[in-house]
Amino acid sequence: MSLWPELELVLPEVSKPARYIGGEGGMATPEHHPSKVAWLLAYPDTYEIGLPNQGLQILYEILNERDDSVAERAYAPWVDMEAEMRAGGLPLFSVDTHRRAGDFDVLAFNLSAELVYTNLLNCIDLAGAPVRAEHRADDDLLIGAGGHCTYNPEPLADFVDFFVLGDGEEVVSEITEAVWDWKRSGKKSRQSVLRALAAIEGVYVPSLYDVAYDGPALVSITPRYADVPAVVEKRTVADLAAWPYPKQQLVPLTEVVHDRLNVEVFRGCTRGCRFCQAGMITRPVRERPAEQVRTMVADGLARSGYDEVALTSLSTADFSGIEEVVSATMDCGAGEVSVSLPSLRVDAFTVGLAAQIQRARRTGLTFAPEAGSWRMRQVINKLIDERDLYGAVESAFSQGWRRMKLYFLTGLPTETDVDTLAIGELARNCVELGRAHTKNPSVTVSLGGFVPKPFTPFQWFGQNTVSELQRKVFLLRDDIKRNRGVQMKWHDPKASLVEGIASRGDRRIGRVIEEVWRQGGTFQEWSEHFDYDRWTQAMAKHGLSVDWYVHRHRTEDEVLPWDHISAGLHKDFLWQDWRDALNEVGLEDCRWTPCYDCGACTGYSIEHIVASAVPPAGGSQGTGQVPTGYQPPEEVSVQLSGIGARSST
Amino acid sequence: MNPNQAPRTRIRLRYGKSGRIRFTSHRDVARIWERSLRRTGLPVAQTEGFSPRAKLHFGLALATGYESDAEYLDVDFKCGEMAVEEVLKSLVDVLPDGIEATGGAVLAPGAMSLQQAVTICDWDIELLDVAAGDLAQWVDQVLGAATLMVTRERKGQKITDDLAPQVRALEVGEPTSRGVRLLATLGTQPRAARPSELLAAQEPVHRPVLIRRTRQWIEQDGARLEPLMVGAAPVQHTLVGVQ
C-alpha cells in the first residue's frame, strides 16, 4: 500500500527531500477501511508553504476524529520531484502513510491564492484523475476545494467537482456522509453524489449549472434542476468556542513558514477596509473566549516545544483584552516565549506592548498603513492617522528595534501621483524618528499592486494596467532613491495582472488556466517559474481580452461571475460602499456601533461574539469614545511577524 | 550573575537517526533537538542576547539522507549537577520517531569539542547495482591507488584534493536483503571525507541506496575511543524498539 520503498530511492535525487517524508508531531496514522470515507487534503503549493495552513489542519483533525472518515495530507511536489515522479510512474501521494492519491475517495484542495490554480490541475493529473470534471468516470476521485478563493469558483469550475464556501468545521461532516452513501453503493453513480452534495448548504457543484453569455458579457448562471440552489450561501460557524482546533498542531521536522504555534483568537473582521476580501467574507466577528485562548497556548507550547506563539486573526489588537492575553502568553511555558501578532493596529502598539513583546525575542515589525495619504485612506476606509503610525514607530525604535517594514498598496481607486508620493514622505518621516534612537534606522517600503476581489466594494473597479502599476512603482522608487535608510521592494505588476485574471474571471478562464498548465506553467506564484507571456498568449489564443477581464470598470447592473454565490453581504450594501469610497466617505466598525445591515449577520441569524462593548484603548483612540455618527477614527494597522516567517515569494 | 561563573554541566549525548527522518538536514535536526529539549523541561542553558537559544554543540554534520547509529551533541545545563540517566529518560517520549538517544556522559571541563576531537568514522554503505565479486575488485583498486583525486565545489570554486590518505579501511561486508554492503573507515580531519566522495573516486561509480554512519572515533595515543568515553562514567541507554 505504501509507496515509501519506491519514494526512498527517489528522494536522494531531489532538493529538500524532507518535504515528502511526513512524520510531523501530531501526525495521524489513520486506519483506512472500506467503511470509512478517505480524504486526501491537499495544499497546491510546496510543503513549507502549505504545512502551516490552519484550515487544512483543522479539517484533518476533525475528519480523523470521526469514526466514519480518515484524512491524510498532500502538497504540490516541487518541479524536480514531479519530474522524478513522472519518470518513475509515481502518483501524487500522502505524506502521512505515503498512500497513492487514487486510494482515497476525495481529493480536496485548500485555495488561498489564485496563482496556484495551475498547481491544482497538476495535482489532479498526478493523482491519476482526468483534469476536467466532465471526463471523470463514476468511481474516479471526487475533487473538492475550499478556502477564500472559492468565493469566485468559476475559473476552476471545469476542474473541481464541488466547492465549499465559508467555515469548514461543520460542513465537512455533512459532505462525508454524502460521500459515504456514494461509496457504500459501489460508487456507481457520480451524478447522484454530486446532486447530494449540491443539496448541502455551503456546497457548490458547478457542473449542475448552465452558463449563458451574450458576446463577452455573462448573462446568467442558473441551476439545471429544481432542487439545486440558485444561490449558494456560505457556511459560518456561530461560536468559535465550540471548535478549539487544531488541538494538536502539526510540528514539522523541517523548516516551514510560520514555524511556530498558531492560535486563532477570533474569526471575522468588521473594520471594513474596502480592498480586503478576507474582512468582507468572514463576517461576523467571533471571538474565542480568553480562557480558551490561554489553555490552547499553554497546551500547545507544552506539546510542541515551540518558543514562539502567534495569536492569529485579522487585526488582532481588536481582541477584547488583548494585552492581558499577550501578557499571560508570555508567562506560560517553561522558558522564554515570544509572541507575534501577525496583524495588529498601531494605535495599540504602545511602548508597553513593544517592551513586552521584545522581552523574549525581537520579532520583525511590519506596519500596514496601506496608503500614503489621508485622502487615499478614506477611500479604502483604512482610517489611520499619521500620528498613530509615528507613535507606533517611535515606540518600536525606543524599545530597540532598528528596522521595520511598511506595507502599501498602489493602483487603488482614485489614486493620483500625490497619493503615491505620500508613501515616500511617510517612510522618510519614520526613518527620521528612528535617528533619535539608533544610528542606522532602516525602513523598508513594500509595495503591492492592488487586485480587486469579489465580495468587496472594489469588485467593480478596473484594475490598473501593468504599465501604470510599473510607472507608479518607479515613480516612488525614484522619489526615495536618495533617502538613506529607506529601501523599497515591490510585487511584480505582471503577477498582479495574472492574479486579476483569475480573481474576477468567469468560467471561460478555465481554458486559459488549463493551457498554461499544459505548457508546464506550474508554481506561478514563485518568481523563478512565473511566466507572464504564457498567460497573455493563452488569453489571446482563446479569444479572451485581458482588458475586458481585468482593466474594465464594471457597472451596477452587470451580472458578476459570483452572483450565484453568497457571502451574506447584500450587493446593494457593497455598491453603496463603493459609491461612498469614491466620495471619500468612511464607515465605522459595526461591532461597537449600530448595525448597518451588510447582511452577514442578519441573513444567517447570527451575531458578533465580542467580549468588550467598546474598542480597545490606545493611541488616539485612547479617549475610549465610541464615535457617534461618522468622524475620522484615528487608527492604523500594524503587523508583527517573525523574521523569516514570511514567504519569500 | 555573571554567566561565566554560573554553574554549568555539559553532557554529551549519542543518538541514532534512521527511517524516513534521515531525509531531514543537519539544520533540521538541530531544530528538532531544541524543541525536544524544551519539551523535557530540563534546565538547558541559553545563549545571551536578543535572540536567546539553547546552548547546544553539534558534532560532525551528517549528510541529508544518511542514517546513523552514532551522532553526538553536547548540551549545556544551567546547574552544577545533572544526571545523565534523567536526561536520557526524559528524552524518550519527546524525540520524534527515528531519532533515539542511546547514551550519554558528563564531560570533564575543558573537553575538546566534537568537531575537533573526532578523527575517523565507520560507514556502512548499501549498494544495489553491483555484484559482491566486482565490488571486491573495486575495493582492491581503491586501496591500491596511490592517489584518489576528488573535485568538489566550495563557494563557487572547484577544489581538488587527494582522498587516499583519508581511506583508513575498506572492505566488502555481509550482503543485505537487497544488495551488497561496503564497509569503510574514513578520516574527518582536516575535513570529513564523505562516503559519496569515496564512491565517486574510482570507476565504476556506484550509486548507494543507503549510507549509515555506524561509529565515530577519537584517536588518542594509538587507541580508539568512542566520544562518550572521554567523559566521566558514560551511561549506555537501552531502549525498547530501537533499530
Q: Please name the residue that has the C-alpha cell 489614486.
A: A415
Candidate from B36, B51, B52 with C-beta closest to A305: B36
User: Nearest-CA residue of chain B relative to A95?
Assistant: B20
Distance from CA of B35 to the nearest CA of A (A): 4
- Tell me the mean pLDDT in the region A9-26: 96
Q: Which of A167-181, A369-383, A606-620 has the highest mean pLDDT?
A: A167-181
Instruction: Report the CATH fold assignment for A257-508+544-641.
Output: pyruvate-formate lyase- activating enzyme (3.80.30)
Asked if B47 reaches chain A (Cβ–Cβ under 8 Å), the answer is: no
Q: Which of B5, B4, B14, B226 is nearest to B120 (CA)?
A: B226
Q: Write the pLDDT tens digit of every residue in A492-534.
A: 999 999 999 999 999 999 999 999 999 999 999 999 999 999 9
Cα A561 from Cα B21, distance rounded (Å): 46
Most B-contacting residue of A253, A363, A401 (CB-CB within 10 A), to test interface? A253
Residue A548 DSSP class: I
Q: Write the pLDDT tens digit of every residue in B88-141.
A: 999 999 999 999 999 999 998 888 899 999 999 999 999 988 999 999 999 999
User: Nearest-CA residue of chain A relative to B128?
Assistant: A9
Residues 63-92 in B contacting A (C-alpha not used; CB under 8 Å): 64-65
Asked if B98 reaches chain A (Cβ–Cβ under 8 Å), the answer is: yes
What residue spans of B69-120 are helical by DSSP H? 84-91, 114-117
Q: Does residue A307 have a pLDDT over 50? A: yes
Q: Does residue A380 have a pLDDT over 60? A: yes
Architecture of domain B9-116+225-236: 2-Layer Sandwich (3.30)
Domain with CATH 3.40.50.280 in chain A: 4-233
Contacts of B94 in chain A (CB under 8 A): 305
Contacts of B51 in chain A (CB under 8 A): 361-362
Q: Does residue A645 have a pLDDT over 80? A: no
Contact B24 A361 (CB under 8 A): no
Contact B28 A18 (CB under 8 A): yes
Candidate from B35, B46, B96 with C-beta closest to A306: B35
Q: Does residue A349 have a pLDDT over 90? A: no
Contacts of B50 in chain A (CB under 8 A): 358, 361-362, 400
Q: CB of A572 within 8 A of CB of A562? A: no
Distance from CA of B224 to the nearest CA of A (A): 32
Cβ-based neighbours of B66, under 8 Å, separated by 6 or more: B17, B22, B195, B211, B212, B213
The superfamily (CATH) of domain A4-233 is: Cobalamin-binding domain (3.40.50.280)
Contact A360 B31 (CB under 8 A): no
Asked if B53 reaches chain A (Cβ–Cβ under 8 Å), the answer is: no
Domain with CATH 3.80.30.20 in chain A: 257-508+544-641
Q: Write the pLDDT tens digit of every residue in A147-162.
A: 999 999 999 999 999 9
Asked if B129 reaches chain A (Cβ–Cβ under 8 Å), the answer is: no
Residue A648: per-residue pLDDT: 30
Give ipTM to 2 decimals.
0.90
- Tell me the mean pLDDT in the region A461-468: 98
User: Nearest-CA residue of chain B relative to A642?
Assistant: B51
3-state secondary structure A156-196: HCCCCCEEECECCCCHHHHHHHHHHHHHHCCCCCHHHHHHH
Domain with CATH 3.30.70.580 in chain B: 9-116+225-236
Contacts of A304 in chain B (CB under 8 A): 35, 39
Residue A624: per-residue pLDDT: 30
Cβ-based neighbours of B209, under 8 Å, separated by 6 or more: A8, A9, B126, B127, B128, B178, B179
Q: Write the pLDDT tens digit of every residue in A65-97.
A: 999 999 999 999 999 999 999 999 999 999 999
Q: What is the CATH number of domain B118-219?
A: 3.30.70
Asked if B94 reaches chain A (Cβ–Cβ under 8 Å), the answer is: yes
Cα B133 from Cα B88, distance rounded (Å): 43
Among A205-209, A389-393, B208-212, which stretch is predicted with the lowest mean pLDDT?
Answer: A389-393
Question: Confidence class of residue A359 from pLDDT cuts 50, 70 and 90?
Answer: low
- Tell me the mean pLDDT in the region B189-199: 93
Give chain A's mean pLDDT.
Answer: 91
Candidate from A253, A305, A336 with C-beta closest to B24: A253
Q: Does residue A1 have a pLDDT over 50? A: yes
Residue A334: per-residue pLDDT: 55
Q: Does residue A351 have a pLDDT over 80? A: no
Candidate from A9, A253, A400 with C-beta closest to B32: A253
Across the A/B interface, how many CB contacts are shorter than 8 Å?
68
Q: Which of A342, A341, A369 is nearest to A446 (CA)?
A: A369
Candidate from A253, A306, A358 with C-beta closest to B96: A253
Altogether, the residues listed in chain A come to a count of 649
Residues 169-198 in B contacting A (C-alpha not used; CB under 8 Å): none
Residue A607: per-residue pLDDT: 92
Contact B51 A361 (CB under 8 A): yes
- DSSP per-residue string spanning A225-287: STTS-SSEEPB--S-GGG----SS--B-SS--TT-SEEEE-EE---S--TT-HHHHHT-S-EE
Most A-contacting residue of B21, B24, B47 (CB-CB within 10 A), to test interface? B24
Asked if B97 reaches chain A (Cβ–Cβ under 8 Å), the answer is: yes
User: Nearest-CA residue of chain B relative to A26?
Assistant: B96
Look up residue A345 and give its three cell numbers. Answer: 493596529
Contact B35 A251 (CB under 8 A): yes
CA atoms within 13 A on the CB side of B212: 16
Contact A305 B64 (CB under 8 A): no
Cα A316 from Cα A290, distance rounded (Å): 13
Cβ-based neighbours of A52, under 8 Å, separated by 6 or more: A256, A257, A258, A259, A262
- DSSP per-residue string spanning A94-114: -TTT-BBGGGSSEEEEE---G
Contacts of A333 in chain B (CB under 8 A): 38
Candidate from B28, B34, B36 with C-beta closest to A254: B28
Give backbone dihedrals phi and psi of A460, rounded to 5 degrees, phi first: -95, -5
Q: CB of A578 within 8 A of CB of A259? A: no
